[in-house]
Structure 1
Amino acid sequence: MPLELHEATATLTDVVTVDEVEPLAAWLRATEKPKVNLRRCNHLHTGALQALLLFRPKISSAPANAFLAEQVLPLLAGGNGTASRQGSEPP
């Protein structure tokens, strides 16, 4: 099962599809201080990524998947790559 929801922690495993987006978003909405474990996640549907970006839960375990760790985790941690260009004109 790609989505395991517990009282304060959600675990996303393998491929998280569109079918898990609504339950994940509802859980994030209802949980006061949500934590998300991405260690065994290999793929996030864009809807799941959007829910994570909207609710900004604490990521309790970083993904082992190289793409998610290098490209997605910084977005979830709040980094968007603009800190080094602060004060510059938009492209």
Structure 2
Amino acid sequence: MPLTLRDNTATITGTLTVEEVEPLAGWLRSTDRPRVNLRGCTHLHTGALQLLLFFRPTVVSRPLDPFLSTHIMPLLGKRNKELEASS
């Protein structure tokens, strides 16, 4: 399962497809100070990326995937600068 939703942390592993976009959207809407673990993520559907860009959850673990780490993490913004600096 590519999406695991807990109280305040979502963990994304493998490929997040369009089927997981709506549950992720609902979770982001209803969660105070959401956190996202992208460590095992290898691909994000563009709808999921748009949600992360809109809601700006704190990324607690950056993706190991080189493309996502290099090209997507910088897009997620200032809230995650501390994580980027510690990597």
TM-score by length of 2: 0.88
Secondary structure of the structure 2 residue equivalent to 1:75: helix
State how far apart, in whole Å, the 2-side matches of 1:76 and 1:20 are: 19
Unaligned runs of 5+ in 2: 79-87
Secondary structure of the structure 2 residue equivalent to 1:33: coil
Aligned length, in residue pairs: 78
Match of residue 22 from structure 1: 22
State how far apart, in whole Å, the 1-side matches of 2:4 and 2:76 are: 19
Shift of 1:77: 2.4
Unaligned runs of 5+ in 1: 79-91
Percent sequence identity over aligned pairs? 59
Tell which structure's C-alpha radius of gyration is larger: 1
In the TM superposition, 1:1-91 aligns within 5 A as: 1-78=1-78
State the Cα deviation string for residues 18-63 of structure 1 (Å, max 9, x = none).
0000000110000010000000000000000000001000000000
Return structure 1 stretches of 4+ with deviation > 3 angstroms: none
Coordinate RMSD, CA, aligned: 0.6
